[in-house]
Chains A and B, each alone.
Chain A
Amino acid sequence: MADVLLRDVRKQYGSQAVIHGVSLELRHREFIVFVGPSGCGKSTLLRMIAGLEQVSDGEISIGGRRVNDTPAGDRGIAMVFQNYALYPHMTAADNMAFGLRNIGTPRAEIDERVATAAKTLQIEHLLNRRPAQMSGGQRQRIAIGRAIVRRPDVFLFDEPLSNLDAALRVQMRVELVQLHQRLEATSIYVTHDQVEAMTMADRIVVFRDGRIEQVGTPLEVYRSPANTFVAGFIGAPKMNLIEARVVAVSPGQVEVALPGGRAVLAADGRALAAGASVTFGVRPEHVRPTSGEGIFRGQARAIERLGRETLLHVVGADGATLIATDAGDSAVRLGDTVTLAIEPGHGRLFGADGMALPSTAASAA
């Protein structure tokens, strides 16, 4: 069992606080992704779990054991670094064996473990090469192999795919998830790429400025973002966020006025009064051009034809932009005036503080 428990974990460099009291429970065999913009503290937190950074305050425990003062090598973890961090003067096999040699593992067992890992990762032909003689993707496999052979309780990944090209990244993404499913370990994966977060995670932890903004499964975070930051960060294209005004509040429902019409949303608006300013959020896939009544009217300023669908960037008279989805063979041309409608049952309201109003519908956004 290797649950990872963070209790009010803080990190300070001098007077500069970078992690402001993070509490989180990671379950055994879970694949957790820390996601957030650059400088949000996600990598620092990962390095604290690894034992590469001191914990200023709070507690980190792995498998029920407090590890705040445990050296990195004794925490039962293995880490894959962004730039691989392979030992440049060792062959791939030696890179993988180094950690096992250091703890006095018998030679036969080292050979067996390295061979097994090499087979799993299909890197048998690379074992006698040095890092300089390998491509980025091959080096990353060796780095993963080095982590596997140690049979850790927890795998830590620090943006491991960001140095790879796009095609290889997609392939490695799938392989890493499959690998995680085979290994009996917990994985913590740091990335700033929300696509990686969505596709790989059992649960996503969204960070901003050293704080957790939301924890949830990819669909929870996607469908019910806790605030406007998460709404804007998760999803590509991001969620549309436009200013709206509360018209009426009834139990379980809020009616809002939008630039080109009105919408009724299933939300708990008890804290709101008529006339209050709110932010209305809706995913582009739930906004469609219509020939009838709509909530927004504007000019198509940009059109992205993705084949299966077309994204329309529609700019209203007040300058607000809404991204809508149309069919792959959309007839809309640049400069056309378009009326947009929202699919019933979708949309989310955020209060003046940016926090989402509790939804009263079964599914939101």
Chain B
Amino acid sequence: MSVQAPSVTPAPVPDASARSGGLARHRNAVAGYAFLAPFLLFYGVFLLYPFALGLWMSLHDWEIVGDFREYIGFMNYVELWDDPYFWEALKRTLQFAAMTAPAATLLGLVLALALQKPLRIYAALRAVFFASNIFSVTVVTLVWAMVLNPDRGLIANGLRAVGLQPIAFLADKDWAMPALMVTSLWWTAGLPMALFLAGLQQIPPEVYEAARLDKASRWAVLRHITLPALARTTLLVVVLQTVMHLQVFGQPLLMTRGGPANSTRPLVQLIYETSFRDWRSGYASAISTVLFVLMFGVALLQFRLSRQEGE
């Protein structure tokens, strides 16, 4: 009832101002969209359109070359359900992401904690650890292929030096996946480290001083002050890493070609081979859609968790 009370005596002045306010709002909106336009154009052409096209393709028997396109509804998805190669690749992908993302997060955290001191040597080390991040996958895999080489590799030489037999990591069914994970960790741990360093800088130094006065041990400080303060950063890092490692491709393609015996073939490699080797772009698009749903789910989870944290 009280809401209606003011409307009993409508004044002409607010009315006029509302009209001019509406005009101003309209003008603002035009300017706003004008500023957004370049991005929207880019977003539409390079993201929305390919995404929609991918979905559309997944409903077709679609050859990459030529113009054979036949609408087949959800047949590609039905085929996926019975495709052992797809399930194997999905399993490998999930395995890889589930191991690598937490490990990269932990490694990034440990590096950040160890290198956050304000001395020059630590700044240099931070740069070194971040540097691997900017190499292309070709360089990284080349370096690690050499390190892991069973004849002349660094690890092989090390094993020989202590009287052990060298291991052909990339040719061994049990070792190939862990070898790819280590390579990926070395390549990608720089970004989590940088994010954690940024997170650490947000913690006011007085809180640590208060902890010193409170006689807190290093472990107590880590557990009760540093880690809780990094909760949001950790969540962000885990999600970014998971989404990134779900898309693993270059490392297995260049180091193991998905082998031995398909033990390292991830979804993206399967998509690549299905589309560009087997010419079945429709089917490859269906696999892509599944991968998208997977990553979208992870991102959604982060969104919900961080909102809960905010409340």
Using CB atoms and an 8 Å cutoff, list the residues of chain A in contact with chain B: 50-52, 71-74, 77-79, 81, 83, 85-90, 98-99, 102-103, 146, 150
Contact B210 A85 (CB under 8 A): yes
Contact B216 A83 (CB under 8 A): no
**Which one, B7-15, B56-64, B92-100, B222-230, is touching chain A?**
B222-230
B3 to chain A, nearest CB (A): 30
Decide yes or no: A83 and B212 within 8 Å by CB, A89-B228, A89-B229, A102-B217 being known contacts.
Answer: no
Contact B204 A73 (CB under 8 A): no
A273 to chain B, nearest CB (A): 54
Contact A87 B225 (CB under 8 A): yes
A79 to B228, CA, bound (A): 23
B137 to chain A, nearest CB (A): 39
Decide yes or no: A79 and B229 within 8 Å by CB, A87-B207, A88-B207, A102-B220 being known contacts.
Answer: no
**Residue among A71, A81, A86 making CB contact with B209, cutoff 8 Å:** A81
User: CB of B83 within 8 A of chain A?
Assistant: no
Closest A residue, CB atoms, query B209? A52
Decide yes or no: A73 and B220 within 8 Å by CB, A83-B204, A83-B206 being known contacts.
Answer: no
B280 to chain A, nearest CB (A): 52
Chain B 211-257 interface residues, beta-carbon cutoff 8 Å to A: 211-217, 220, 224-225, 228-229, 231
Identify whether the interface residues of A are mostly helix, strand, loop, or mixed: loop
Q: Which residues of B are found within 8 Å of A85, using beta-carbon distances?
A: 204, 206-207, 209-210
Contact B206 A98 (CB under 8 A): no
Decide yes or no: A79 and B207 within 8 Å by CB, A87-B225, A89-B229 being known contacts.
Answer: no
Decide yes or no: A98 and B204 within 8 Å by CB, A81-B209, A89-B224 being known contacts.
Answer: no
A71 to B211, CA, bound (A): 12
Q: Which residues of A are found within 8 Å of B220, using beta-carbon distances?
A: 102
Interface size class of B (residues with CB under 8 A): 10 to 19
Q: Which residues of A are found within 8 Å of B214, using beta-carbon distances?
A: 73, 98-99, 102, 146, 150
Q: Which residues of A are found within 8 Å of B229, using beta-carbon distances?
A: 88-89
Q: Which residues of A are found within 8 Å of B228, using beta-carbon distances?
A: 88-89
A145 to chain B, nearest CB (A): 13
B205 to chain A, nearest CB (A): 9
Q: Which residues of A are found within 8 Å of B216, using beta-carbon distances?
A: 73, 98-99, 102
Contact B213 A77 (CB under 8 A): yes
Using CB atoms and an 8 Å cutoff, list the residues of chain B in contact with chain A: 204, 206-207, 209-217, 220, 224-225, 228-229, 231
Q: Which residues of A are found within 8 Å of B215, using beta-carbon distances?
A: 71, 73-74, 99, 102-103
Q: Which residues of B are found within 8 Å of A98, using beta-carbon distances?
A: 211, 214, 216, 224
Closest B residue, CB atoms, query A50? B213
B121 to chain A, nearest CB (A): 18
Q: Which residues of A are found within 8 Å of B206, using beta-carbon distances?
A: 81, 83, 85
Contact B225 A78 (CB under 8 A): no
Q: Which residues of A are found within 8 Å of B217, using beta-carbon distances?
A: 102
Closest A residue, CB atoms, query B205? A85
A52 to B209, CA, bound (A): 7
Decide yes or no: A79 and B224 within 8 Å by CB, A89-B229, A98-B216, A99-B215 being known contacts.
Answer: no
| Best-surrounded residue of B204, B212, B214, B217 (most CB of chain A within 10 A) | B214
A85 to B212, CA, bound (A): 12
A86 to B214, CA, bound (A): 11
Q: Which residues of B are found within 8 Å of A81, using beta-carbon distances?
A: 206, 209-210
Closest B residue, CB atoms, query A85? B206
Give me the 6 closest cross-chain CB pairs, A-B, nearest first.
A73-B215, A99-B214, A89-B228, A85-B206, A85-B210, A72-B212
Closest A residue, CB atoms, query B228? A89
Q: Which residues of B are found within 8 Å of A150, using beta-carbon distances?
A: 214
**Residue among A72, A86, A90 making CB contact with B213, cutoff 8 Å:** A72
- A sample of 25 inter-chain contacts (CB < 8 A) reads A50-B209, A51-B212, A72-B212, A72-B213, A73-B215, A77-B213, A78-B213, A79-B210, A79-B213, A81-B206, A85-B206, A85-B210, A86-B210, A87-B210, A87-B224, A87-B225, A88-B228, A89-B224, A89-B229, A98-B211, A98-B216, A99-B215, A102-B217, A146-B210, A146-B214
B231 to chain A, nearest CB (A): 8
A90 to B221, CA, bound (A): 12
B59 to chain A, nearest CB (A): 49
A74 to B228, CA, bound (A): 26
| Best-surrounded residue of B207, B210, B220 (most CB of chain A within 10 A) | B210
Q: Which residues of B are found within 8 Å of A51, using beta-carbon distances?
A: 212-213
